[in-house]
């Protein structure tokens, strides 16, 4: 079912989880063992991230190096099908512009349509690890707005080849990313919101936010979105803090702040267990406040921390 329909029919705050495809060469059972303990909470959907190929160097027997491209976490489409089949729950594949031509994107969308996937999260993707700026493929989408346009066009039966006989249209509900603390490349919040509205006007039906640890940032963001005329549901993205190193890692990767109060509590911890308890209590507090504010969903960036998320859900539900 479409996320927008799920929200319209909901009588409570819905739950969703985001998972990464297993590393190439790992069995899919590793993913199931992450999801199994979470299924008792009846998630409305499972998001599956997409990972672009990265350039790496292979050491050859003659001592030279060869540049190769490896996608470390393949299988997003297959995992969506497997998750829907095993758990009877909607899967939301993430689609990215990076590394894809428009034709490859169209082919992926056709696969997803045949599999009965109703939702996609349309994203630009980041630059590869060894490059500073994002560069689109020669015949690829340059930003998430163009990707949303492509999915919307397919929903109307407009394929890339004009001569394609297209009586069959897709009917994807399109989600996009939003940044309560601004995307790192945006010159300012107003411009970021302008581009966010562009994605919504092009056909996005809902927004999922970057993680945040200060609910006020989310509430302010929702207010600003409403002020500029963005009316679609805005799903808060949440992540548990489990290690002290995240105090440096999360702000530098995701361009987010960790509130002073949380930082002080974490720095006073004497053990890893204590850090886990503080991180969990903070997330419980965030979830309770968001549920009170009647947010449509709680979206958890589960990412290997399924047991922490399970503990949080056991506490709040
Ligand atoms: P865009 O909306 O294209 O925005 C990127 C930047 O360009 C912003 O600064 C924006 O202000 C600006 N911009 C937007 N439109 C225009 C325009 N028309 N002209 C000029 N500038 C413009 N990454 C992955 O690789 N795989 C994933 O599975 C994945 N999942 C994610 C899930 C969520 C919920 C979130 C929040 C992020 C996810 N990401 C993922 C990371 C995401 O790809 C990066 O944050 C990326 O840098 C931006 O993606 P976007 O879709 O927000 O890009």
Task: Note the pLDDT tens digit of each residue in 83-114.
Answer: 999 999 999 999 999 999 999 999 999 999 99
User: What pLDDT, on the 0 to 100 scale, is given for residue 264?
Assistant: 98
CB atoms within 10 A of CB 152: 17
Asked if 16 contacts 46 with a C-beta cutoff of 8 angstroms, the reply is yes
Q: How far is the CA of 40 from the centre of ligand 1 (A)?
A: 32
List the residue whose alpha carbon is closest to atom 12 of ligand 1.
Answer: 186
125 near 97, Cβ under 8 Å?
yes
Is any ligand 1 atom within 6 A of the Cβ of residue 190?
no
20-75: pLDDT as tens digits:
999 999 999 999 999 999 999 999 999 999 999 887 888 889 989 888 888 888 89
If you measure from the C-alpha of residue 207 to the centroid of ligand 1, how many angstroms do you get, rounded to a whole number? 12
Give the model's pLDDT for residue 88.
Answer: 98
Torsion of CA 141, 132, 302, 179, to 10 degrees: -70
CA–CA separation, 109 and 150 (whole Å) = 10
Is 49 a pocket residue for ligand 1 (Cβ < 6 Å)? yes
pLDDT in tens, 270-301: 999 999 999 999 999 999 999 999 999 999 99
Residue 235, H or E segment: strand 234-238
Query: For the residues 117-124, what does the mean pLDDT come to?
Result: 98
* C-beta of 18 in contact with ligand 1 (< 6 A): no
Residue where the block lists tokens 């394929």: 159
- Which residues are paired to 67 by β-bridges? 57
Percentage, residues of the chain above pLDDT 70? 99
pLDDT band at 241 (very low <50, low <70, confident <90, very high): very high
Mean pLDDT of 124-137: 91
Domain count, the chain: 1
- Rounded CA gap, 212 and 179, in Å? 9
- The residue range of the domain holding 263 is 3-316
Q: Note the pLDDT of residue 71.
A: 81
Q: pLDDT-based confidence at 131, cuts 50/70/90?
A: confident
- Chain centroid to CA 236: 11
pTM across the whole model: 0.97
Q: What is the pLDDT of residue 72?
A: 87
pLDDT band, residue 311 (cuts 50/70/90): very high
pLDDT band with cut points at 50, 70 and 90 for residue 130: confident
Q: Quick one: pLDDT at residue 152? A: 98
Q: 208 CB less than 6 Å from ligand 1?
A: yes
Q: Reduce the DSSP state of residue 17 to 3 states and report it.
A: strand
- Window from 155-159, 199-203, 206-210 with minimum mean pLDDT: 155-159
For 123-146, what is the mean pLDDT? Answer: 94
| Per-residue pLDDT tens over the stretch 248-268 | 999 999 999 999 999 999 999
**What's the rounded Cα separation, in Å, for the pair 239 and 250?**
10
What CATH number corresponds to the domain at position 77? 3.20.20.220
Q: Which atom of ligand 1 is nearest to the CA of 191?
A: 11
Q: Is 300 in the pocket of ligand 1 (CB under 6 A)?
A: no
- Please provide the average confidence, as pLDDT, over all residues in the chain: 95
pLDDT exceeds cutoff 90 at 129 = no
Ligand 1, atom 39, lies closest to the CA of 125
pLDDT of residue 276: 97
* Average pLDDT rounded to a whole number, residues 305-313: 97
> From residue 30, how far is each of 40, 84, 88, 122, 243 by CA, in Å?
18, 16, 19, 26, 22
CA 71 to chain centre: 18
Q: How far is the CA of 204 from the centre of ligand 1 (A)?
A: 14
Q: Is the CB of 124 under 6 A from ligand 1?
A: yes
The per-residue pLDDT for range 168-197, each reduced to its tens digit, is 899 999 999 999 999 999 999 999 999 999
Task: Choose one of 120, 122, 125, 191 to mutate for the ligand 1 pocket test, by most ligand atoms within 8 angstroms of C-beta.
Answer: 125
- Pair type for strands 297-301 and 234-238: parallel
């Amino acid at each position: 079912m479409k996320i927008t329909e799920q929200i319209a029919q909901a009588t409570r705050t819905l739950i969703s989880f985001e998972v990464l495809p297993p590393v190439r060469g790992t069995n899919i059972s590793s993913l199931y063992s992450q999801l199994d303990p979470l299924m008792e909470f009846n998630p409305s959907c499972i998001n599956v991230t997409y990972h672009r190929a990265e350039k790496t160097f292979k050491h050859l027997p003659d001592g030279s190096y060869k540049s190769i491209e490896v996608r470390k976490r393949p299988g997003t489409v297959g995992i969506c099908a497997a998750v829907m089949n095993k758990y009877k729950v909607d899967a939301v594949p993430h689609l990215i512009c990076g590394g894809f031509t428009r034709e490859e994107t169209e082919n992926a969308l056709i696969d997803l349509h045949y599999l009965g996937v109703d939702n996609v999260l349309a994203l630009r993707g980041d630059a590869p690890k060894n490059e500073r700026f994002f560069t689109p493929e020669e015949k690829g989408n340059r930003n998430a707005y163009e990707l949303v346009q492509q999915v919307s066009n397919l929903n109307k039966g407009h394929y890339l080849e004009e001569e394609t006989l297209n009586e069959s249209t897709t009917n994807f509900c399109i989600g996009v990313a939003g940044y309560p603390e601004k995307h790192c490349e945006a010159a300012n919040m107003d411009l970021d919101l302008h581009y966010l509205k562009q994605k919504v006007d092009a056909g996005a039906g809902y927004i999922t936010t970057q993680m945040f640890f200060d609910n006020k940032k989310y509430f302010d963001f929702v207010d600003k979105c409403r002020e500029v005329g963005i009316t679609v549901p805005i799903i808060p993205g949440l992540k548990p803090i489990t290690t002290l190193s995240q105090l440096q890692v999360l702000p530098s990767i995701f361009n987010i702040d960790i509130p002073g109060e949380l930082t002080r509590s974490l720095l006073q911890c004497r053990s890893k267990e204590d850090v886990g308890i503080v991180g969990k209590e903070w997330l419980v507090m965030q979830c309770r406040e968001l549920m009170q504010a009647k947010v449509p969903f709680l979206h958890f960036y589960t990412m290997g921390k399924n047991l922490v998320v399970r503990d949080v859900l056991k506490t709040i539900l």
